Structure 1
Amino acid sequence: MALGICVFLCSFNTNAQTTRRVNGDPNITGVNVYNTIQAAVDAANTDDVILIEPYGNSNYVYYSSVETSKRIHFRGNGFNLNNPQLSFKPLDTRTVQLGNITFKNGSEGSTVKHARTGTIYVNESNISIEDSYCHSIWIGNQFDESILVSEGTNLKVRRCLVGYNGVNETIREYRNNGSLTSTNLLVENSVLFGILFSGGGVNNVISNSIFKNCQIYGNITEVITSSFVNCIFQGIEYTTSSNISYCISFHSLPNSNNNISNATYDQIFSGTSYSTTDYQGDLDRVLKNGSIASGAGMNGVDIGVYGSVNPITFSGLPRYPQITTFYNSGVGDNTTNISATATFKAN
């Protein structure tokens, strides 16, 4: 019996997840190393990890847009890595900027973590975006609706910056024909710049969703029958068909449900600003001593992105190990082993 169990487990583990490195330096080659993200995705199997690396002498590296019809897991190196308040120095502070990511039919369950991206187009269900900085998230493909299968159901956005200074929208339900609904979104401990907006057709809405411990700078439109809890609002407009509780606004909110209206910046935050996407913005969103947001949320947690059990983290730093040095003796064969020494470090 024990032998049979061992054989089953060994057989099960033969289909292991593969990590595919993306490095734009043409001199860096090897097994599972690619110069473009799309090449890595095209070669990948379901559930493979796409590890996107900086390269060259520039402090800013750009990779072109990518699309996938497979369940893929994108991993970057973080963002705002020059933050002097980080408790340790990141291994590599170069900025890695991805273009747009499009999740097409067949990509259900894909994830993005520790990345800096352009717009993420969500055309499948159960997509997760965590610890990342993306310019915007559009649910639905306004160019080719025939590929849609899910309307972005169960999209999860956690500990992210979404939008950039001056952006017009952040999370958007966008398809050309009307009366479409994206449902069951979970957005928590995230900073949303610009407008939390659903539109593009008639009666396109986001519904039955939860926004928890977010900081929202723009107005909220066409988000219905949803819940906002422990959030801080800068915008003037909000949707009256959603439940808003334990929230703070610089303007007015419903008087019930433990909300606080007409707050001022210096009653809440320790910093000097509140609308930047660089590392200074990370610091400015920290609550001051005696803040009206401290302990004022549901179940006594802090209101804002640093409240709850999973607060936003500075710079979206990755937690996986990285190779710092690697030496080998040369080429081996069936009878001669390769002698290699590698050192690793993890944030």
Structure 2
Amino acid sequence: MRFDVFSPYSVVAVIIIYLSLALTGTGLGLRGLEPPSALSIIYIATGTVALIAGFYLSSGFRIGKIRTHEGSEPFLVALVIAGILIQAINLYLLGGIPLLSGYLKARAVTKLWFISYLLFLPSINILLAAYPRRKYYIPLIMGAILFALTGYRTTVVVILLSGTITLYYSARPSWRELGVLISALAVAALLVGYVAVKSIEWQTWTLNPVELLLYRAGYTLTVFDRIISLQGATGGKLLYYTLTGYIHSTDPRAIVGEVVLGYSHSTTSTIFGPSLLDFGLHAMLFQMFILGLLLGLMHRIQGVLDGFFTGIYSIILAQTIVWVETGPTDLVVWVFYLIGFISAIYVLWRCYSEAGSCS
């Protein structure tokens, strides 16, 4: 039995790696960054413990085999193609490549983008989970390239990382192949992030790609450090606009910037920041516990039932890993979490009704 690289505990490893990068960035004083307070490290450690508690509780459920129905291969392929075509139309209507223009990037996340992402991401992962054929690597890469052109590195990371996680469980690549996939993912993330930042017309950056990575991590940690003294300041506004932002054209991260920095600027605040700024420490701990519980449940479910459940687990794990820096303020991600929640409840219900127990 091989070591499970993408168990829920991988999120803990990512938090530790992120914190190391952030402290390196602040320690070097990149662009005036200052070291965070010890309290911010304590808060992060406490939130991580709540996450682990959720993982641990999920281990009390034993998932048995139940009969499930995978989506037909042609239907999944059609959804993948539809997602790719809608994103291509979105780019065409924008009239340029957002990756190369800060002005276009600010307009790139449209309702068409939302629909295309909502179609493409689950369908490509479920397709790779249920039918892990090499020919389906092509639409995965095509989709990643098209979404990369919007200039948002997190989208590319989630597409490629979730695809890698799905293939890890369905195709079982060798350690060498897995290393190549992860290396390609890291290079793609650095490249897209660097090109996007250099293309913002109203900013001047002199940092190299590695320094930029360290700076972004350190900057986000600095924002979280400030949030600790502002707990509950937004009173639920971030949650509200996370759920309704597409209707109001309001970016919750811009609200973070306005409250924490004093001016409207899309600002990342770590996975712990938004709930802390909205409601305080108890909300942050509750959020982390629930995320851990659902990730743990979906990991156990996909290990038994695979297919659809592997695809959904891969998506929410990849999104959670990205959230470690950006924070949970994306409606589309919460939609995937909702799908995961409904899936877990369905499986547990079937387990109880057919076997009488899930423990």
Q: Normalising to structure 2: TM-score of the pair?
A: 0.24
More helix by share: 2
Q: Normalising to structure 1: TM-score of the pair?
A: 0.25
Larger Rg: 1
More strand by share: 1
